Structure 1
Amino acid sequence: MFDLLGLSTEHEAVYRAMLQRPDLTVAGLAALLAVPPEQVHDALDVLSDLALVRVAADGDRLRAVRPQPGLMALLAKVEAEVAVRQQQVEATRAAIAAIAVAHDDYGRAPEGRSLDGVDAVRERLAELAHTASSECLSFTPGRAQSPDTVQAEVPLNEAALRRGVRIRNVYQDSFRNDPATLAHARWMATLGSQSRTTATLPMRMVIVDRRTALVPIDPEDPRRGALELSGIGVIAALVALFEQVWRSGVPFGTAPSRDEQGLTPQERDLLGLLADGHTDESAARKLSVSVRSVQRTMSSLSERLGAASRFQAGLQAGRQGWV
């Protein structure tokens, strides 16, 4: 019944027995359930990990936590995990829809054109900034924008904001460590712009007035240029992707909150990347941080997990529901 909470039938039987007979020892529980004492010990390890049993006040035995707080806490954790998973599913659905619309059955691209090289992209962005009438949405992955890029954006963004254009941008968490980006985001906020951060971003992207979108030709090498898209379907999918990421972002000026395990979004994403087989180097690229930063974070997480090695940290993280 409680497989969803991480309890097998055997674990549930031991837990129910402890609720009914709190006076029984391990041997007594084994006799009551007609199972070997080793099976009771194994069940107690799992129940302890799930915080369903605790050391009694006398310190000599374990007692079962009442079902309402104990099981409901586990259910709340599962519900939170499901909510996060659903967000990931919706983001993936939007990305799939974007790809599907971008390439129909005959492999033809939707309405749009190719902008080759960084200069062509910057020129087109300047044009769009001058003509934008209602909204500009963007993803800005990486560590920090160059001073030249920030300086070039200032008059364009200011003019658009003063015309009443709503600007929302999502940076990566790594930008929080860059004083110039923080100063730029604060200045933009005084004019009405909104900025948030998230641990990872799918790609660089700009959407103007929900009619035109610029996405990289090669997400791994933005210097190659961008694709300018204007098909109704693909724009709708990209907007849905933006809104999904925006909802999960943390506003600039607010520290990223920690979840019930005490993890920041960046720490949780790092654990997920490493669990998926990424090296320190590839995880650093995904998070737009240095390899040294990844190693420092993993050292801190290993210490919090009481793990002596990276392998042991992975096992402990899995047992405690960190990944």
Structure 2
Amino acid sequence: MLTTGTKPTHPHLITELCDEGARLYASALSAGRIARAEIEPAPCLLEFALLHPDPDDANWLRPVPPSAILAQRLHPIEREIRDRRRLSIELADTFEPFMAISAQPAATTHAITVLEGLPSINATLDAATEACTEEILTIQPGGIRHYEDLAKSLARVKEPLHRGVRMRTLYQHTVRHGPGVFAYLEQLESNHVEVRTLEEIIDRMIIFDRSVAIIPARRDRQVALELRHPGLVDYLASVFDQFWQKATPLHEEPHYPATADGITGVQRTIARLLIEGHVDEAIARRLGMNVRTCRAHIAKIAAALGSGSRAQLGYLIAQSGILEQDKPK
């Protein structure tokens, strides 16, 4: 109890009735009345209308039955609950027609999702492969593939192929120089798989049913992007289709125009990249070969053109006309 001068105050709610007030109220209920002077330590009894004046004697107070107090206090609370329940029903009825609209996939699907770490990337690939019903398009840059590495994806793709899903894959020409891809295709044993190769292709990409695309977001392949925006995925699928039209089926030999100077098609591509200013490492990466093989090709180009230095090699390539053979007539 707090006091201000001689007048006591009770800073509490009726749900937190003070000990003195509880004792005096119980006493009044037991006796049927209580002296007004006796309740001075607990003015809350009058503030909360737990007591009312005795009509026969002003010096006494009579207790209000607790059932009456409870009904009086609960009535406005119950009325508020009813009002809020009615309001919640009205709100639900108002917005229910819009819930179906907002639940449409186009409105809730994330256009771009960042996938961090191989577990997250592989889980997304597994889910997209399992959900695929028509076609998987893949671009796999790099050099010679070892069967052990390719075998890791066998379990993932065999099931959708068995369901009739078609798969088209683009590799670089360099995979033809190793048995890995051929052994991998034999294990798949499916007529729904097509493989073509190109000298140069873009970075790794996988597209499922032309609705979901997975692309790398970092060179170490620890971060990838899951794309579901229809415009983005459609654009990437059209890029794949253009590469596919220019690619050579794996069972056919890549066509290179015949040359009299002994420079191969791969070496002409390397020569073109050298002229464009690319360093050995960048050329090797773009053509899916190791740097040592790339430099061996550069040495053969230099020998064929009689170059004694890299600076002279660039000039001789430009003057030799070997790059003109790649231009369409």
TM tier, smaller: 0.5 to 0.7
Residue 319 of structure 1 pairs with residue 322 of structure 2: no
Structural mapping, 1:1-323, within 5 Å = 111-145=111-145, 149-188=149-188, 190-218=190-218, 220-222=219-221, 224-261=222-259, 265-323=265-323
Give the deviation of 1:321 after TM superposition. 3.0
Distance 2:308 2:240 in 1: 40
Q: Which amino acid aligns with 1:242?
A: F
Distance 1:254 1:316 in 2: 33
Distance 1:231 1:263 in 2: 45
Query: Is the Cα–Cα contact under 8 Å of residues 146 and 178 in structure 2 kept in the other structure?
Result: no
Query: Is the Cα–Cα contact under 8 Å of residues 284 and 291 in structure 2 kept in the other structure?
Result: yes
Query: Is the Cα–Cα contact under 8 Å of residues 280 and 295 in structure 2 kept in the other structure?
Result: yes
Give the deviation of 1:215 after TM superposition. 0.7
What do the CA deviations read for 1:106-140 (whole angstroms, capped 9, x no partner)? Answer: xxxx7121111122211211122211111110111
Give the deviation of 1:260 after TM superposition. 4.9
Aligned to 1:82: none
Q: Which amino acid aligns with 1:230?
A: R
What do the CA deviations read for 1:214-270 (whole angstroms, capped 9, x no partner)? Answer: 01112x221x22100011111111011111111221221322221254765533331
Cα distance, 1:188–1:254 mapped onto 2, change above 3 Å: farther
Aligned to 1:4: none
Q: Which amino acid aligns with 2:253?
A: A
Give the deviation of 1:286 after TM superposition. 2.2
Give the deviation of 1:179 after TM superposition. 1.9
Query: Is the Cα–Cα contact under 8 Å of residues 307 and 316 in structure 1 kept in the other structure?
Result: yes
Q: Which amino acid aligns with 2:170?
A: V
Identity %: 28
Q: Which amino acid aligns with 2:225?
A: L
Distance 1:148 1:118 in 2: 18
Query: Is the Cα–Cα contact under 8 Å of residues 139 and 171 in structure 1 kept in the other structure?
Result: yes
Give the deviation of 1:190 after TM superposition. 4.4
What do the CA deviations read for 1:160-199 (whole angstroms, capped 9, x no partner)? Answer: 2221111000112222233222311344474330111112
Greater Rg by CA: 2
Cα distance, 1:198–1:120 mapped onto 2, change above 3 Å: same
Query: Is the Cα–Cα contact under 8 Å of residues 257 and 264 in structure 1 kept in the other structure?
Result: no
TM-score normalised by the chain length of structure 1: 0.59
Aligned to 1:39: none
Q: What's the secondary structure of 1:136's corresponding residue?
A: strand
Give the deviation of 1:154 after TM superposition. 1.1
Query: Is the Cα–Cα contact under 8 Å of residues 140 and 169 in structure 1 kept in the other structure?
Result: yes
Query: Is the Cα–Cα contact under 8 Å of residues 173 and 266 in structure 1 kept in the other structure?
Result: no
**Runs of 4+, deviation exceeding 6 Å:** none
Query: Is the Cα–Cα contact under 8 Å of residues 121 and 226 in structure 1 kept in the other structure?
Result: yes
Q: Which amino acid aligns with 2:228?
A: S
Distance 1:212 1:117 in 2: 19
Give the deviation of 1:299 after TM superposition. 2.2
Structure 1, unaligned runs of 5 or more: 1-109
Query: Is the Cα–Cα contact under 8 Å of residues 111 and 228 in structure 2 kept in the other structure?
Result: yes
Q: Which amino acid aligns with 2:159?
A: A
Give the deviation of 1:146 after TM superposition. 6.0
Query: Is the Cα–Cα contact under 8 Å of residues 146 and 180 in structure 2 kept in the other structure?
Result: no
Q: What's the secondary structure of 1:195's corresponding residue?
A: strand
RCO comparison, higher one (Cα < 8 Å, 6+): 1
What do the CA deviations read for 1:253-297 (whole angstroms, capped 9, x no partner)? Answer: 322221254765533331122112222222222222122211211
Distance 1:265 1:124 in 2: 39
TM-score normalised by the chain length of structure 2: 0.58
What do the CA deviations read for 1:45-69 (whole angstroms, capped 9, x no partner)? Answer: xxxxxxxxxxxxxxxxxxxxxxxxx
Cα distance, 1:198–1:322 mapped onto 2, change above 3 Å: same
Q: What's the secondary structure of 1:319's corresponding residue?
A: helix
Output the aligned Cα RMSD.
2.5
Cα distance, 1:272–1:189 mapped onto 2, change above 3 Å: farther
Structure 2, unaligned runs of 5 or more: 1-109, 324-329
Query: Is the Cα–Cα contact under 8 Å of residues 170 and 196 in structure 2 kept in the other structure?
Result: yes
